[in-house]
Amino acid sequence: MAACRPRVVHVERVVEKQVTTVVTEIVRETVLVRDTPRAGETLATPTLPPPLGTPQPTARPRVALVADVTRYGWTAFGQAMAPAFEELFPTIRLEWRTTADWDTYPARVAALMASGQAGDLLEAPFGPLLTDWFERGMIRPLDDVLAAEHYDTTGVFAGALAACTRSTSLAALPLVCHGGDCLLVYNRDLLNAVGADTPMPDWIVDHVTRAGAAVTRGLGSEIPPAFGYGEEHRLPGAYPAMRVFGAELLDAEGRASAIDDAAGIAYLRWLQALVRGARAAPHPHEIEGGLATMFADGRLAMVRADLWSYLAHLRRLGAERLGGILFPPTAVGGARGAVLRGVAYCISARSAHVAEAFQWIKYLSGREMGVQMFLRGYAEPGCRSASWNDPRVLELCPTCARVAEVTETAAPERVPWNLRLADVAAIWDEEAARLVRGDVSPEECADAVTTRIDAALALE
């Protein structure tokens, strides 16, 4: 069986050496997936350098691809992989104009566009920014490029492709995605201290409430107090829990609030009961430093988290104390709560090097690059189910398989048609805070949210 095991070549060894012909052969083994593709996935094969001794054509000038990107892990990974890419594609050179975080990045890109200095590659998180750029003609559709390259997107998470599609055109290609705060992570020590059950895969949300209430009753009198469960009521963290109940904040077109239906009321009742009734969760004024900080400090027994946060908690608490399952449904066999989150590569409408830019996107969004991005600790395992379920990934983190299950079918958050996402989020956060404080009933909360959001959506 050992002979059948695929050879693993560490990418970090490639980028630590001077790029030579010998390294080219190592890169060839690393970048191209050598084992059999999983069912339903077609692997795109980049152009390889000719064998040694092949007569070389007249050298072409190198194309400089300018990447106006961010300072997150996937960018650091891309910078580490650039030398290997340039060895595979000797006529292309990457130039990085790394900017700051999402708060300042859109303004930076807008300024570059206005001055005619925008580069070739841009990054966009799933959501309104991508829509805005596409509708304003700042980025180009990629359908013709995919057709010219005969590039098959089979194997990319379907929801991620949907999140990158605007008006039936593909506006970007996914790079990294995940299911949002779809995990229930828990501290075994706090649950065991009060004799509460440890979360199991067959749990439903009622189990979370009961176990959380037991911890709060048993440990809440301590100084500082400990609580059973912390639920994020603000956006975007609230979306996965909404979807457990089948609720949505907006309708499918983003033109009206949808929280006032039966599913929405059920979610709001559960949210209020956690704090006001069962006392499974802390009151807003009892939250100090955020729920994640309270969990890390041993003051919360359970909390929702995404994969990256789960891994951070795991490093801090250790596998003996920390566990994680998919966040439970409302009933056995019910829907899991997830919201697709991620980032995609776009090609600027001003780019004169579209084919070359696409080669980079194709390279970094491939299956093996997703695996290496995770194994090296830069980001989640890319945007393909095969990357998330790769044996090397699962050996390091078996939970990736469970997160991939919900990521495969998760939908992105619904976007207001007029892109007033900040206004919509502010309205929800204000009214949800009143709900968890006990100032209003779930029905009153739904009415207030609907009235205020519908008014915001009526604006151009």
Q: CATH for 62-178+341-407, among 3.10.290.10, 3.40.309.10, 1.10.132.10, 3.40.190.10?
A: 3.40.190.10
184 C-beta neighbours (distance < 10 Å), count: 23
Separation between Cα atoms, residue 246 and residue 267, nearest integer Å: 8
Task: Lowest mean pLDDT of 314-318, 400-404, 423-427, name the range.
Answer: 314-318
Query: What residues does each domain of the chain span?
Result: 62-178+341-407, 183-339+416-457
What was the pLDDT predicted at 224? 75
The answer to whether 62-178+341-407 and 183-339+416-457 have equal CATH topology is yes
Query: Is the pLDDT reported for residue 258 higher than 50?
Result: yes
What was the pLDDT predicted at 54? 55
Closest CA to 68 of 106, 42, 36: 106
Three-class SS state of 332: coil
Mean pLDDT of the chain: 86
Separation between Cα atoms, residue 310 and residue 325, nearest integer Å: 10
pTM above 0.85, yes or no: no
Task: Lowest mean pLDDT of 8-17, 79-88, 91-100, 386-395, name the range.
Answer: 8-17
Task: Lowest mean pLDDT of 56-60, 64-68, 83-87, 182-186, name the range.
Answer: 56-60
What was the pLDDT predicted at 229? 96
Query: Is the pLDDT reported for residue 23 higher than 80?
Result: no
Query: Is the pLDDT reported for residue 348 higher than 80?
Result: yes
Question: Does residue 420 contact residue 457 with C-beta atoms inside 8 Å?
Answer: yes
Separation between Cα atoms, residue 353 and residue 342, nearest integer Å: 25
Complete DSSP assignment for 132-188: HHHHTTSB---HHHHHHHT---TTB-HHHHHHTEETTEE--EEEEEE-SS-EEEEEH
CATH class of 183-339+416-457: alpha beta
Which two tokens mark 240?
């996965």
Separation between Cα atoms, residue 122 and residue 256, nearest integer Å: 31
Which two tokens mark 404?
């991939």
Query: Is the pLDDT reported for residue 343 higher than 70?
Result: yes
